[in-house]
Structure 1
Amino acid sequence: MVRLLASEVQQLLHNKYVVVLGDSVHRAVYKDLVLLLQKDCLLTYKQLRTKGELSFEKDQLMKGGLLDTLHNRTDYREVREFCSDHHLVRFYFLTRVYSEYMESVLEELQSGTHAPDVIIMNSCLWDVSRYGRNSLSSYKQNLENLFGRMDQVLPKSCLLVWNTAMPLGDKIKAAFLPQKCKGQARISVATLKKRVRQANLYSHAEATKRYFDVLDLNFHFRQAKKHLQGDGVHWNEHAHRRLSYMLLAHMADAWGVELPHRDPWEPDLEAWESPGQVEGWQPQANRGPQAFALPPHGPFPRPRPLLPPPALPARPPPLLACPIPPPQVTPPLPLYPQDSYFSSDHVFQSDEFYIHSDDPPPTHTGYTFEGDFSFYPQPPMPNFYPPCYQRQAPVVHRGFQRHAPYGPYMRWRERPRRPQRHAPACQESRPQ
């Protein structure tokens, strides 16, 4: 997994329309993506906890939220949108994977000016906990209806990424779980975990059958429960940044985009996956050092170059490649003042080199030996390729040329549509 900068994310999602559908966990996915399109920083405690605000990092609340009423019922709505000159990201809050509201969302996307390029979606916890005893069976049926409907509605160029539900904690205190749900007692944690596992297996199989992409978040975060928040459902800012990098890498692979060649941003596995105490909700300033803490603002430090500066000869010190001669019994040499070119750890023999001129040695210490010294026999010069990190500004290269529309986004009706499965037997005129 490669760590991406905000400038590289902007180029990867240039002229892209991204739609995020899901619950409060995917609202944080939307927020982290919007933040990463503008800044190289993490979400704060307040940004993770707040819902339905009028504006977040230059985005706009379109429907629901504070424009209506904040509540935890199944009819809660929240639609957010972030739009810049070349980026469009929209979020729809879902409480059920397929319903009349979801059908209205699909119709809104289809009738809009622009077609979505990416749809990131998940809906599971509300489906298996808020709709009665038969919630799991109805969830399976709704999944079939959803994927069948999206197969008909979405253009062929649209990338649908279905995310499996993330792991749950041992103690769940989420507000969306009521004390009683339609006459039955509150669902237990063990039962809810079992339903989530079954729902993930079925959604994975159903999405794969329809040839949609699946990102198994339950697998990737199964050993990272110490990054869970105190309610046992939501995750901290480090987990969401890791999730964003996974999604962006998946998009780049699907579009044939070559990401910058940089050392992978892989933290210590023991620090990431080691079992630890679940974090409680507390301000970010009061938290101790954690894994994946970003460096302070400013340019990222680069490794020291392996090659000498450009002004010096581009070759390594010859002594590094010379074979060490076998030890020989020689008379002791007279003591001379210590020279900056010689190390006291190595004894040089008098026949190893000879001096061409009597000029004083150069004063700079950037290179061990200069042209005044010659070795016999000359060792073969190795081939040193310039390291990839010497590039001043890594650029995202596209694997293929994307169709460039007239405006920043392509209109829905200009997209290639899926071919009809069965052609009509005869052409009939439409009623006027």
Structure 2
Amino acid sequence: MKSVSHHQATQLLHNKFIVVLGSSIMRSVYKDIVMLLQRDKYLTFKQLKSKGEMSFEQDCLVEGGCLGQMHNGTEYREVRQYQSAHHLVRFYFVTRVYSRYMQSILEDFRSGLKPDVVIVNSCVWDISRYYSKWIIDYKENLHQFFSALREILPEESLTVWTLTMPLGEGIRGGFLVPEIEHKASQLRFDVIEANFYSGTLADAYGMDVLDLHFQFRFSLQHRTRDGVHWNAIAHRRITSLLLQHAAQAWGVIMLCPMTAVENRGVPKQKQQQQHQHHHQHQQQLQLRRPAFVNAFNPPDQLRSRGSFYNGGYSEEFSSDALPFNFMNFQENNLQPQTNHNEAAAVYSRQQNRNGIEYKHHHHSEPYNELQHQSVMRSRHSRNHYAPYTHQRPKQYDRHGHYY
């Protein structure tokens, strides 16, 4: 699988303090970030499944977990931290978006070190373990959490609210105690409703929103058998999305994909078959390539590094997300960017260094190359949250089907 590389992750998060808040899925997000900061490998199934262990990949258990009582109740605590010479990553296990425990975490931010990046999600426990009619309570807690977070964190901090990923029809997990098993069949629909409320409120409070439900709607084969959790491939994709999001917010252009992650546990013969199949698929794409794409083939040096371009196609032709700069927020009128030749020329003129290109964002502070050789830190511009939006092909009429 092609993804953001270890080298890119260490450069982008150089001297950054990252905080991850959430339940078991967010714990796996934390673990994958810690893994990527050390080497290009996936998490193992055992690492994904384990909780509350004393140490994971040179991190340490600060509070809770096996230091206390291991249980599946709403009062379960687990605080983990990974620290290296230039990186600090911390994880808090939370079961409710706003509670006394969350207030204590926010007080740590108020009186202590301010995080540069906060990645947070809280949904499934909120809507299943506290009240049968959860909507009013969940909305109120979201208001209080977003308001407190905006008050405590400096403007330069990047806060990313991630929407909950798709649940299966038949689910089982630690949060699904016998008392609420009757909610299992309805919970996947409640998550969609809760995502709408939380995403809309996060956007209104000035937070960035990453819609993982939308991103993984067609990747259900990577969901585990319990219908809740996801495998290592999905979590590396989540990490790549988060890092690309942060790079865009900080005005850094990462040329992705850059490296192939090691396939742990996959036989060598099967890897060769996958590589051969991928090569044949690329040849078929080459034969079917539209004429207008050939107008801006990338330079050989970019293609050889596996850069932004993929077989002649730009990122917007191989992604479910909106095209790069689809919305121009510098102008009052929001208009799509349609000049692909001009966009490619801009990319080809960017300065490249160690696989990461740097540009001056329209809100960025001056970049002093003598002081910062590997990283650029600037005030981020927030991405507006528009759930489930994409450019509708012009060749289909209003009632046409194109899915």
- Give the TM-score category using the shorter length: 0.5 to 0.7
The alpha carbon displacement at 1:387 in A equals 2.7
CA distance in 2, matches of 1:262, 1:202: 33
Is 1:223 the counterpart of 2:218? The answer is yes
Q: Give the total of aligned pairs.
A: 298
- In 1, are the aligned partners of 2:166 and 2:217 still within 8 Å (CA)? yes
- In 2, are the aligned partners of 1:18 and 1:90 still within 8 Å (CA)? yes
**What corresponds to 1:238 in structure 2?**
233
The one-character-per-residue Cα deviations of 1:214-244 (angstroms, maximum 9, x if unpaired) are 0000001111111111111000000001111
**What corresponds to 1:157 in structure 2?**
156
- The structure-2 alpha-carbon separation of the partners of 1:288 and 1:196, relative to structure 1 and needing over 3 Å to count, comes to farther
Letter in 1 for 2:357: H
CA distance in 1, matches of 2:16, 2:137: 34
The alpha carbon displacement at 1:384 in A equals 10
**What corresponds to 1:137 in structure 2?**
136
Unmatched runs of 5 consecutive residues or more in structure 2: 276-281, 283-296, 307-352, 361-365, 372-377, 380-403
Identity of aligned residues (%): 44
CA distance in 2, matches of 1:69, 1:402: 49
CA distance in 2, matches of 1:241, 1:192: 26
CA distance in 2, matches of 1:128, 1:12: 35
Secondary structure at the aligned position of 1:98 is classed as: coil
- The structure-2 alpha-carbon separation of the partners of 1:205 and 1:403, relative to structure 1 and needing over 3 Å to count, comes to farther
**What corresponds to 1:170 in structure 2?**
169
- In 1, are the aligned partners of 2:171 and 2:226 still within 8 Å (CA)? yes
CA distance in 2, matches of 1:294, 1:214: 34
**Scaled by the length of structure 1, what TM-score is found?**
0.63
| Among 183, 189, 200, the residue aligned to 2:184 | 189
**What corresponds to 2:342 in structure 1?**
none
Secondary structure at the aligned position of 1:132 is classed as: coil
- In 1, are the aligned partners of 2:81 and 2:88 still within 8 Å (CA)? yes
Letter in 1 for 2:82: F
- In 2, are the aligned partners of 1:17 and 1:89 still within 8 Å (CA)? yes
CA distance in 2, matches of 1:207, 1:127: 16
Is 1:395 the counterpart of 2:355? The answer is yes
After superposition, where does 1:252-291 map in structure 2 within 5 Å? Answer: 252-260=247-255, 285=265
**What corresponds to 1:350 in structure 2?**
none
The one-character-per-residue Cα deviations of 1:12-68 (angstroms, maximum 9, x if unpaired) are 100111000000000000000000000101000110000000000010100000111
- The structure-2 alpha-carbon separation of the partners of 1:261 and 1:178, relative to structure 1 and needing over 3 Å to count, comes to closer
Letter in 1 for 2:144: N
The alpha carbon displacement at 1:402 in A equals 5.9
**What corresponds to 1:344 in structure 2?**
none
**What corresponds to 1:92 in structure 2?**
92
- In 2, are the aligned partners of 1:23 and 1:123 still within 8 Å (CA)? yes
The alpha carbon displacement at 1:7 in A equals 1.2
CA distance in 2, matches of 1:288, 1:26: 31
CA distance in 2, matches of 1:90, 1:204: 23
Secondary structure at the aligned position of 1:180 is classed as: helix
Letter in 2 for 1:157: E
- In 2, are the aligned partners of 1:60 and 1:82 still within 8 Å (CA)? yes
CA distance in 2, matches of 1:290, 1:238: 16
Secondary structure at the aligned position of 1:58 is classed as: coil
Bigger mean CA deviation after superposition, 47-56 or 135-144: 135-144
The alpha carbon displacement at 1:287 in A equals 9.5
Is 1:38 the counterpart of 2:38? The answer is yes
CA distance in 1, matches of 2:13, 2:302: 23
CA distance in 2, matches of 1:254, 1:230: 35
- In 1, are the aligned partners of 2:19 and 2:117 still within 8 Å (CA)? yes
Bigger mean CA deviation after superposition, 250-259 or 388-397: 388-397
The alpha carbon displacement at 1:188 in A equals 2.7
**Scaled by the length of structure 2, what TM-score is found?**
0.68
Is 1:74 the counterpart of 2:74? The answer is yes
CA distance in 2, matches of 1:385, 1:76: 53
CA distance in 2, matches of 1:93, 1:61: 12
What's the Cα RMSD here? 3.3
Is 1:63 the counterpart of 2:63? The answer is yes
Letter in 1 for 2:142: L
- In 1, are the aligned partners of 2:17 and 2:88 still within 8 Å (CA)? yes
- In 2, are the aligned partners of 1:41 and 1:294 still within 8 Å (CA)? no
The alpha carbon displacement at 1:388 in A equals 1.7
Letter in 2 for 1:22: G
**What corresponds to 2:47 in structure 1?**
47
The alpha carbon displacement at 1:149 in A equals 1.1
CA distance in 2, matches of 1:289, 1:179: 44
CA distance in 2, matches of 1:60, 1:237: 21
- Greater Rg by CA: 1
Unmatched runs of 5 consecutive residues or more in structure 1: 266-283, 296-302, 304-382, 407-414, 417-432
- In 2, are the aligned partners of 1:262 and 1:388 still within 8 Å (CA)? no
- The structure-2 alpha-carbon separation of the partners of 1:127 and 1:289, relative to structure 1 and needing over 3 Å to count, comes to farther
**What corresponds to 2:125 in structure 1?**
126
- In 2, are the aligned partners of 1:261 and 1:394 still within 8 Å (CA)? no
- The structure-2 alpha-carbon separation of the partners of 1:403 and 1:84, relative to structure 1 and needing over 3 Å to count, comes to farther
Letter in 1 for 2:95: T
- The structure-2 alpha-carbon separation of the partners of 1:235 and 1:290, relative to structure 1 and needing over 3 Å to count, comes to farther
